Amino acid sequence: MTQKERKLPDWLDGFMALTENSEPPVLYRKWVGISAIASALQRKVRVDLGISLTMYPNFYVVLVGPPSTGKGTAMKYGSDILDQIPSIKMAAQATSLQALIRRMKTVNLTDIELDTGRQIFHSSMTILSNEFTVFLGYHNRELISSLCDWFDCGERWAYDTIKRDREEIIGVWVNLLAGTTADSLREALPSTETVRGGLTSRIIFINEYKKNKLVIFPTVTQDEIELQQHLIRDLEQIGLMSGVFKYTEGAMDFYTDWCIEAENNPPFSDNKFDGYCGRRRKHLTALAMVCSASRSNNMVLTRDNFERAAHLLGEAEVRMGTVFRGIGKSDIASLINDAIVFLQNSAVPDIPLFQFARRFEGDVDKIVMDRILTTLESMKYIQVIRRPGTESVIHVLGKK
């Protein structure tokens, strides 16, 4: 199939327009779109830095939020498009490690680099799962370890089965998009140590607390039907790209400055994110490839691509730091996280103390509740205003 002129000036902007009249938060929709572009690019494109450092445009993205925040709805918009493109290979939502390995072996894709004519052999697969913990299983260390290995897109990956057979995958490339709640994530993780340096250090968590808006009667317009068809067609064109991305001098200047700033001023002080911070360069470069592909097939990374990528990553990181707030050695760590989510979702800054007590009556007694409130006050997240003769209130600092 030869490349044709695009219908849309920017694929990601088009996807955001298609999903505008829907309930999921903006960041959920945006990262579903990013993941869709990556799914089309596969292992056929890359950025070479030096002799042995190669980066590919794959992501592990997990949408995190309470039930009914729109995680599944946002992903459905993406899957409806991906399902129309045969070249994008998908994995089952719930599967075993052995089944995943067999699936990756069967895809056995072959492409030709447009600039060099070199053949590319790869096993590119996208995993789409509405419930991350169902796909992952609980404390499934073998699958977790394999996903960690696959993230780096090795040339070869081998697995010895119980029957002493050897399974080998050529050109590993895995792109993952999933959804989960904070509670499910906490239960599925084997330990705090896994958070710091294992699978979760490779994941971009998109954390939201509530849906973007209420849409009671969603309708379908002719413009939306045509836009979806344009998105499908243009994503097919994106999927025809292959080879090495070049980069301009301005792009490298921005990348250099960004790396120095990231080294000196990481976005998180929590040591649970040490592993993630070490991989931010990979995320930035992969995003820059997605940003470039979203607008054209020229396979050139410009300063504008990197600036947009940095903005996208920075948006995600604003609330990413709260994902592991309920994971820790304290016996009330998860309760503190639940309390913060409750207070964050309040429509007003002042919540009567009795309402807070009723919300958590099945989980805490007065002694534990006082510990939670004292901790939140120490964090300067709230101020408990006690008024003699009238109802005490919890004032959420910084909330209007």
The pLDDT, as a whole number, for residue 139 is: 67
The full set of domain ranges for the chain reads 11-320, 333-396
Contact 8, 230 (CB under 8 A): yes
The pLDDT, as a whole number, for residue 348 is: 87
Contact 204, 59 (CB under 8 A): yes
**Measured between alpha carbons, how far apart are the two ends of the chain, in Å?**
55
Average pLDDT over residues 1-10: 82
The pLDDT, as a whole number, for residue 161 is: 67
Average pLDDT over residues 21-26: 95
pLDDT: is 330 or 358 the higher one?
358
Percentage above 90 pLDDT, the chain: 51
The pLDDT, as a whole number, for residue 198 is: 82
> Which segment, 87-96, 151-160, 259-268, 304-313, is predicted with the most confidence on average?
304-313
**pLDDT at residue 102 greater than cutoff 80:** yes
The pLDDT, as a whole number, for residue 108 is: 77
pLDDT band at 193 (very low <50, low <70, confident <90, very high): very low
The pLDDT, as a whole number, for residue 344 is: 80
The pLDDT, as a whole number, for residue 249 is: 96
Contact 200, 154 (CB under 8 A): no
Cβ neighbourhood burial of 281 (10 Å; 0-12, 13-18, 19+): middle
**pLDDT at residue 106 greater than cutoff 70:** yes
Average pLDDT over residues 176-192: 78
Tokens describing residue 142:
């073998």
Tokens describing residue 396:
């959420």
The pLDDT, as a whole number, for residue 299 is: 95
**pLDDT at residue 325 greater than cutoff 70:** no
**pLDDT at residue 94 greater than cutoff 70:** no
- Domain covering 333-396, topology: Arc Repressor Mutant, subunit A (1.10.10)
CATH class, domain 11-320, is alpha beta
DSSP class of 238: H
Average per-residue pLDDT for the chain: 88
Average pLDDT over residues 223-242: 96
pLDDT: is 285 or 344 the higher one?
285
Cα-only R_g, the chain: 23
Chain segment 280-292, per-residue pLDDT in tens:
999 999 999 999 9
**pLDDT at residue 182 greater than cutoff 50:** yes
pLDDT: is 270 or 46 the higher one?
46
> Which segment, 277-281, 308-312, 367-371, 380-384, is predicted with the most confidence on average?
308-312
Q: List beta partners, residue 61.
A: 177, 204
pLDDT: is 137 or 10 the higher one?
10
Tokens describing residue 244:
């090495």
Q: To 5 degrees, how large is the angle CA 178–CA 308–CA 275? A: 50
Q: 131: which residues sit within 8 A by CB, 6+ positions away?
A: 93, 178, 179, 180, 184
